Amino acid sequence: MFEIPRPYLLKFERIAVPMAEGRSSRRVLHIAFSFASAMGSEITAITVRDQAKDMMWTNKITVVTNAYKEGLNNNIKVIPKILTSSDVKSALVEELNRHSYDMVIIASEKRSIITRITSGPVSNYVIKRSNIPTALVSVKTQNFPYKTIYIPLSESVNTRGSVAFGLFLKKVTGAKVIFSDLRAFDQNPTHKFSYIFDYMNEIVENFGGNITMKKGGTSSDLKESILTEASNSEADALILGVRAGPNGKIRVSSEIKDLMKTGEFDSILFKK
């Protein structure tokens, strides 16, 4: 029996969704709903009251209670959770690390994505300090469920865990996946995404059909190749990945920072 290799394994039993007002939080909630509908996931919708600043915070309560009601209407278990702290980012990460969540899906606005990744108060802290797989979504399109997911296969901008997230997202949304072979840009490759190339038939069997592999590299620049190919493919979502370095710290490359804020499609940065 074919087994998915460990670097590509992910769990979706308990998903945490930090929430605030706005369409970006609703997008990540609906992504979590897609997993829950297909896999029976339990979702915890979390908001954090800043006790030093949030004097009027009924809107935050409304966000998570509405998530609970929407889940109830869709037969999805949603647990609303409201935290209070003088340090919002630390309280959120402590919640994520202490309560056995399998994954966190968090939103970030396009305009502030670089700031949030490099020095921002919440999503930066989550992706760097959480001990669980984290998907950071830069919402730039109205389209959901996704119809086309573009996944560049280059170790410079992706990981095996992020590729797996893209495949599972394809499975639960019914989207098609376009893999682009951009390994020529990798100067010191390690795994070369060999599983994807060696076991495509098994991948189709596990994640569904409508998966295309193409030879990428429309220019001599990796970022421009990705943007051009994703646009030409009419992608709704671009999957990117980041990993911890030898010192255990997360470093987001300049290519990924640019890709997260550019393009007319959602960009999803995943850390396993």
Task: Average the pLDDT over 122-146 and give the result.
Answer: 90
Span 85-126, pLDDT tens digits: 888 889 999 999 999 999 999 998 544 443 443 335 588 789
What is the average per-residue pLDDT within 223-232?
95
Task: Please tell me the pTM assigned to this model.
Answer: 0.92
The overall average pLDDT reported for the chain is: 90
Q: Indicate if the pLDDT at residue 140 is higher than 50.
A: yes
Q: Supply the pLDDT for residue 81.
A: 96
Of all residues in the chain, the percent with pLDDT exceeding 70 is 92
CB 35 within 8 A of CB 15: yes
